[in-house]
Amino acid sequence: MSKMSKNKTVVLVEDDPIVTASLSERLTEAGYSVAGFASADQALQELASLVPQVIITDVRLPGTDGIDFLKQLKHLDESVSVIVMTAYATVSDAVAAMKLGAADYLPKPICVDELLVKIERLFETRQLRADRDRLQKDAERRFRLGNVIGHSKRMQEIFDVAEVVKDLDTTVLIQGSTGTGKELLARAIHFQSVRRALPFVPVSCVALSPQLLESELFGHERGAFTGAYRRKVGRFEAAASGTLFLDDVDDIPLELQTKLLRVLQERKLLRVGGEVEIDVQCRIICACKTDLQQLVEAGRFRSDLFFRMNVVRIELPPLAKRKEDLPLLVEHFVNHYAARQGKKPPKVDPEALHYLVQHDWPGNIRELENVIEASVAFCSAGRLSVAHLPPEITHRPPAQELFSLNLPGQGRVDLSELTNAVQGQVIRWALRLADGSQIKAAKLLNLPRTTLQSKMRKLGLGD
């Protein structure tokens, strides 16, 4: 008896009590739990509470027959494995059953050993399938949260935090410089959460006067100020029980910070010019570009508001700090923009990728996305090469191309000879890059021009 069989339930639907008794006995001996039913209708009534994995059913049954039973089972749970026992080896029943998604069939009289092998194999396949699904889920989780891509350790930690907080009411503060994906992460948290069907309302606090921002956030009543011709519902209200994404909170003017603090504390607001208190029900995600703590220390941000916002903080690292994510992001954007532009995704040359990895990406992922969009537009013949990259990426030659030391099988090396050879190579490289201009080459090499010239003479380069 295999240990593997423990806790595996097999449902047996058979109207012949003798067959039921003998099969049950053998299956129980083999370590399965057996639930026997004399009819499909009886089985269907009970199955909801049983959650069976494998069902063995006769075709000829009183009431609902085995084929109809199979149909209904598949409708209830596509993944259930059903073995159909066909009396008198009726081929047509077997064919019908297989077409409807039966896992297998057995002609009667049943050979129990054969049945046991089939059941064991089914459980094995189910296990394999479950493992594969789990692995696939893990892999997806490892590389992405919603549309946020990344497999660097830092991004993994961020996905883990997001996973934990997504369904809570907890306020989240996302900090990161421009283009690091703050809004994308906020959206991922919302759209992966129980709130996904509720509104996601973004509001930027940047470049708005305190008055405008206040009415944008809280709304206003008709006649609240000049130009308020009608009542306006604010963003807090529009978010209802969904998520309010307060972007660029570092720019909230101090006087509005006080009002916002009250709203966050009391979870009630007044529209500008209004008298009726309105309940705040939304979840709040804030984003900032700067370290709010430093703004607090500089007296530009209320510390109590900071503490309200900073319940869970997620810091999105700049792309330069997680270059290991770059190839994955490049692939993602190449596929995305190729599809948008109606092209087959081009293959990215290793040299082009090399330039991309070497770039500093001050504009972070937004910059990368723009570069890939343009490069995909320019590339042809299914290849994305250095020539398709914009000059700001390619103006600096990849670092390791500067020189490489390759001394295979050398027993002895003359250092000054080798140094001269390397110097010669580097000078030739600089001259090439400077189109032969010694002034420019000297600049590239951080040497006075006269020094470059004397080195060139010494090394027998040029005239």
Ligand X SMILES: Nc1ncnc2c1ncn2[C@@H]1O[C@H](COP(=O)(O)OP(=O)(O)OP(=O)(O)O)[C@@H](O)[C@H]1O
Nearer Cβ to ligand X (184/278): 184
Written as six digits, the tokens of 166 are 């997504």
- Name the phi and psi angles at 272, rounded to 5: -60, 125
Identify residues 288-317 at the interface with ligand X (CB under 6 A). Answer: 289
To the nearest whole angstrom, how small is the minimum distance from the Cβ of residue 380 to ligand X? 25
CA distances from 436 to 180, 427, 429, 432, 448 (A): 40, 10, 10, 6, 16
Choices 183-191, 223-231, 426-434, 440-448; region in contact with Mg ion by CB under 5 A: 183-191
Q: Please, are residues 244 and 285 in contact by the beta-carbon 8 Å criterion?
A: yes
Choices 113-121, 179-187, 222-230, 449-457; region in contact with Mg ion by CB under 5 A: 179-187
To the nearest whole angstrom, how small is the minimum distance from the Cβ of residue 283 to ligand X? 18
What is the Cα–Cα distance from 88 to 462, expressed in whole angstroms?
97
Interstrand relation of 347-348 and 383-384 (parallel, antiparallel or unpaired): parallel
183 forms part of the interface with Mg ion (CB under 5 A): yes
Instruction: Pick the binder of ligand X from 181, 219, 234, 242 (CB under 6 A).
Output: 181
251 forms part of the interface with Mg ion (CB under 5 A): no
Strand partners, 347: 383
Nearer Cβ to ligand X (237/369): 369
Nearer Cβ to ligand X (148/252): 148
283 forms part of the interface with ligand X (CB under 6 A): no
3-class SS of residue 271: coil
Q: Please, are residues 164 and 205 in contact by the beta-carbon 8 Å criterion?
A: no
Written as six digits, the tokens of 320 are 């330069």
Instruction: Pick the binder of ligand X from 171, 180, 375, 385 (CB under 6 A).
Output: 180
Binding-site string for ligand X from residue 89 to residue 128, where x marks contact by CB under 6 A and - marks none: ----------------------------------------
Instruction: Pick the binder of ligand X from 34, 54, 148, 188 (CB under 6 A).
Output: 148
Instruction: Pick the binder of ligand X from 45, 136, 170, 178 (CB under 6 A).
Output: 178
| Residue 180 interacting partner from ligand X, Mg ion, none (CB closer than 5 to 8 Å by kind) | ligand X
179 forms part of the interface with ligand X (CB under 6 A): yes
366 forms part of the interface with ligand X (CB under 6 A): yes
Q: Please, are residues 249 and 203 in contact by the beta-carbon 8 Å criterion?
A: no
| Helices of type H across 249-407 | 254-266, 292-297, 303-309, 326-340, 350-358, 364-378, 391-394
Closest by Cα among 319, 391, 405, 382 to 355: 391
Nearer Cβ to ligand X (15/331): 331
| Residue 178 interacting partner from Mg ion, ligand X, none (CB closer than 5 to 8 Å by kind) | ligand X
Choices 176-184, 228-236, 341-349, 434-442; region in contact with ligand X by CB under 6 A: 176-184
Written as six digits, the tokens of 55 are 């069902």
What is the Cα–Cα distance from 393 to 374, expressed in whole angstroms?
12
Task: Please give the residue whose beta carbon sits closest to ligand X in the complex.
Answer: 181
Q: Please, are residues 23 and 14 in contact by the beta-carbon 8 Å criterion?
A: yes
To the nearest whole angstrom, how small is the minimum distance from the Cβ of residue 316 to Mg ion? 11
Written as six digits, the tokens of 272 are 């500008």
Q: Please, are residues 257 and 309 in contact by the beta-carbon 8 Å criterion?
A: no
Give the number of residues in contact with ligand X, rule: CB under 6 A.
18
CA distances from 223 to 8, 192, 230, 235, 271 (A): 71, 40, 7, 19, 12
163 forms part of the interface with Mg ion (CB under 5 A): no
| Residue 60 interacting partner from Mg ion, ligand X, none (CB closer than 5 to 8 Å by kind) | none
What is the Cα–Cα distance from 380 to 387, expressed in whole angstroms?
11
3-state helix vs strand vs coil in the chain, percent to 5: 50, 15, 35
Choices 61-69, 101-109, 148-156, 228-236; region in contact with ligand X by CB under 6 A: 148-156
To the nearest whole angstrom, how small is the minimum distance from the Cβ of residue 213 to ligand X? 17
Written as six digits, the tokens of 261 are 């603090």
Angle at 59 between CA 92 and CA 101, to 5 degrees: 65
To the nearest whole angstrom, how small is the minimum distance from the Cβ of residue 312 to Mg ion? 19
184 forms part of the interface with ligand X (CB under 6 A): yes
Nearer Cβ to ligand X (97/371): 371
Nearer Cβ to ligand X (37/159): 159
Which stretches of the chain bind Mg ion, using CB under 5 A? 183
Q: Which residues make up the interface to ligand X (CB under 6 A)? A: 147-150, 176, 178-184, 289, 329, 332, 365-366, 369
